[in-house]
Amino acid sequence: MDTFAALAQGLSVALQPMNLLFAFVGVMLGTAVGVLPGIGPALTVALLLPITFKLDPAGSLIMFAGIYYGGMYGGSTASILLNTPGESSSIVTALEGNKMARAGRGGPALATAAIGSFVAGTIATVGLALIAPTVVDIAISFGPEDYFALMVLAFTTVSAAFGSSVTRGLTSLFIGLSLGLIGIDLQSGQARLSFGIPDLLDGVEVTTLAVALFAIGETLSVVAAGARAEEVIEPVKGSVFMNKEDWKRSWKPWLRGTFLGFPIGAMPAGGAEIPTFLSYALEKRLCRKPDEFGNGAIEGVAGPEAANNAAAAGVLVPLLTLGLPTSATAAIMLAGFQQYGLNPGPLLFASAPDLVWGLIASLFIANVMLLVLNLPLVGLWVRLLAIPRPWLYGGILVFATLGTLGANPSLVELGMLLIFGLLGYVLRRYDYPIAPVVVGLILGPLSEQQLRRALAISVGDPLVLFQSPIAVTLYALAALALLGPLLFYLLTGRKAPVGGDED
């Protein structure tokens, strides 16, 4: 009951003309960057952080959420028409979607992706609104040792779920954690790992790291690939509308995808890739025409796209209620909250209800906007795909350095951008996931804070970490996430399916 009152209040915030405009700008930008190869929502939000510093917090956060949702829509367009998924979570969409586009059924493929995303996004946002107050109630009783355990769980699942091996995921995470150490330790006033460079005393900016890893690392690895990465754009032929059979074959996969995607996204494990893989496998098994799979089955687009968007909404549950980001975009959105002195978590629901509920309500509006805009504007998005790559990547680097200079006009900052960019290239080259580095950088200092708080209460007795039942349960889950792939291998003799990386 309270939830609906709060949501109605939020809706009145989200419907203010300025906030509608922010949501509109957000979904347009998000769709554009989702379509474009080489940039994603994480990078876009990171680039916008310095620019929005002086704007209204609610409006900016609504815009970021619009970018986040829009990126998911745009990613599906790129993977269907170009066969190069803009986002890792639309890899599966490319499997069937691109086949459909080649068979001249690109229109219905785009339509089922868009409508499926709308259905899933709406249901999942309702789920978010319903579940969030409950999680907040539970989280209020969490002690620092429970928060620390929760972060350990997030660390293990983020590193185990992304990328091709647990060792590599953990390596990425620990690189991020090490970078998080740089700067002045707030409790003791000691400088750590700053090597006497004054610019390092403030620590590594999340935006600098994210922009470097995503924009510069990506540009370097694309330019290094040279002619290897040539792409063919499939033109959209025929009607963009789905016929009766398409509808009949789509609605069940939409719903199934939603119910796979939302819970998995909402767990403090995150990742939108896993539910898309699960949904694809499920639809393949349930489809009445299994021979169509691999040749452009509409179910194979509808299910994973719904799962993708539902998971994207699910990721906001731990972000808003616990302050726990489980994807790169969520990590940067957390940095966005922090830039305004807001700390997502149970207290935010009490201290800034208008902002939180306004944000949740604006997700519904963003979804409607995306549905209305996407299909009619598909021609515009396709034209974006045709931007020559030299100009596209030239522009990406211009904006990447612009964003960094806007946040902090210093040459050391640009130097860090270059070094982290090279790091991003090396990580990509040797198949290390990117997201755990960003999550490690932002969650590392937070987890250290909780650890030290817990140990300060117990006067240094480390056993306090394992005395709370909640913490022990979370550690057990963390162990399961780390050893899960190994168990899967031992039980079935097959390697566990793993997702890609990035956003």
Partner 1 sequence: MSDTPISSTKGPDKARFVIAFGLAILAFVVGWDAWRLSSVNSFSAVGPAAFPTIIAAGLALLSIATAIEAIGEGAQERPRDEIGPMAWVLAGLIGQIVLLPFLGFSIATGWLFAATAKGFGRGPLWAHFLAGAVLCFVIYVIFAKGLQLALPAGPLERLI
Give the angle 67-68-71 at the CA atoms, nearest 5°.
80
Site string for partner 1, 143-172 (x = CB under 8 A): --------------------xxx-x--xx-
The least CB distance from residue 460 to partner 1, in Å, is 4
The least CB distance from residue 194 to partner 1, in Å, is 9
Q: Return the structure tokens found at 358.
A: 């306004």
Under the binding rule (CB under 8 A), the answer on residue 285 touching partner 1 is: no
Q: Name the one range near partner 1 by CB under 8 A: 178-186, 262-270, 317-325, 486-494.
A: 178-186
Q: Letter for the amino acid at 248?
A: K
Q: Letter for the amino acid at 404?
A: T
Nearer to partner 1, 51 or 130 (CB): 51
The least CB distance from residue 215 to partner 1, in Å, is 11
Query: Crossing angle, helix 41-52 and helix 17-35, to 10 degrees?
Result: 140
Nearer to partner 1, 298 or 385 (CB): 385
CA 108, 100, 162, 214: dihedral to nearest 10 degrees? -80
* Nearest residue to 98 via CA among 106, 90, 108: 106
What gap in Å lies between CA 151 and CA 135, rounded to an integer? 16
DSSP-assigned beta bridge partners for residue 184: 191
Under the binding rule (CB under 8 A), the answer on residue 216 touching partner 1 is: yes
Residue position matching structure tokens 């499997």: 95
Strands 183-184 and 191-192, bridge-based pairing: antiparallel
Under the binding rule (CB under 8 A), the answer on residue 25 touching partner 1 is: no
Contacts (Cβ under 8 Å, ≥6 apart) of 30: 41, 44, 66, 67, 68, 69, 70, 71, 72, 73, 74
Q: Give the DSSP H or E segment for 382.
A: helix 378-385
Nearer to partner 1, 50 or 270 (CB): 50
What gap in Å lies between CA 347 and CA 204, rounded to an integer? 27
Give the angle 19-23-26 at the CA atoms, nearest 5°.
135
The least CB distance from residue 267 to partner 1, in Å, is 23
Applying CB under 8 A, which of residues 12, 187, 295, 467 lies at the interface with partner 1?
187
Using an 8 Å Cβ cutoff, are 129 and 7 in contact?
Answer: yes
What gap in Å lies between CA 70 and CA 366, rounded to an integer? 8
Under the binding rule (CB under 8 A), the answer on residue 397 touching partner 1 is: yes
The least CB distance from residue 150 to partner 1, in Å, is 17
The least CB distance from residue 241 to partner 1, in Å, is 34
Under the binding rule (CB under 8 A), the answer on residue 196 touching partner 1 is: no
Residue position matching structure tokens 């996204």: 265
Nearer to partner 1, 10 or 421 (CB): 421
Q: Name the one range near partner 1 by CB under 8 A: 188-196, 290-298, 320-328, 378-386.
A: 188-196
* Nearest residue to 441 via CA among 139, 140, 180: 180
Applying CB under 8 A, which of residues 140, 431, 467, 495 lies at the interface with partner 1?
431
Under the binding rule (CB under 8 A), the answer on residue 455 touching partner 1 is: yes
Nearer to partner 1, 49 or 115 (CB): 49
Under the binding rule (CB under 8 A), the answer on residue 223 touching partner 1 is: yes
Under the binding rule (CB under 8 A), the answer on residue 54 touching partner 1 is: yes
What gap in Å lies between CA 183 and CA 348, rounded to an integer? 27
Applying CB under 8 A, which of residues 460, 491, 492, 494 lies at the interface with partner 1?
460
Q: Name the one range near partner 1 by CB under 8 A: 179-187, 201-209, 252-260, 297-305.
A: 179-187
Taking the alpha carbons at both ends of the chain, their separation in whole angstroms is 35
Applying CB under 8 A, which of residues 141, 228, 291, 463 lies at the interface with partner 1?
228
Under the binding rule (CB under 8 A), the answer on residue 388 touching partner 1 is: yes
Q: Return the structure tokens found at 220.
A: 């370097």
Q: Which CA distances in Å does 355 have to 20, 56, 362, 440?
A: 14, 11, 10, 27
Using an 8 Å Cβ cutoff, are 3 and 130 in contact?
Answer: yes
Applying CB under 8 A, which of residues 138, 418, 479, 487 lies at the interface with partner 1?
418
| 295 phi and psi angles, rounded to 5 deg | -120, 15
Under the binding rule (CB under 8 A), the answer on residue 220 touching partner 1 is: yes
Under the binding rule (CB under 8 A), the answer on residue 379 touching partner 1 is: no
Nearer to partner 1, 122 or 219 (CB): 219
Restricted to residues 472-501, the positions that interact with partner 1 (CB under 8 A) are 498, 500-501
Q: Name the one range near partner 1 by CB under 8 A: 235-243, 351-359, 361-369, 388-396.
A: 388-396
Under the binding rule (CB under 8 A), the answer on residue 102 touching partner 1 is: no
Q: Give the DSSP H or E segment for 256.
A: helix 244-266
The least CB distance from residue 492 to partner 1, in Å, is 20
The least CB distance from residue 226 to partner 1, in Å, is 4
Applying CB under 8 A, which of residues 198, 238, 294, 394 lies at the interface with partner 1?
394
Burial of 45 (0-12, 13-18, 19+ CB in 10 A): buried
Under the binding rule (CB under 8 A), the answer on residue 51 touching partner 1 is: yes
Residues that bind partner 1 (CB under 8 A): 50-51, 54, 163-165, 167, 170-171, 174-175, 177-178, 181, 185, 187-188, 190, 192-193, 216, 219-220, 223-226, 228, 388-391, 393-395, 397-398, 401-402, 405-406, 409, 411, 414-415, 417-418, 421, 426, 428-431, 444, 448, 451-452, 455-456, 458-460, 498, 500-501
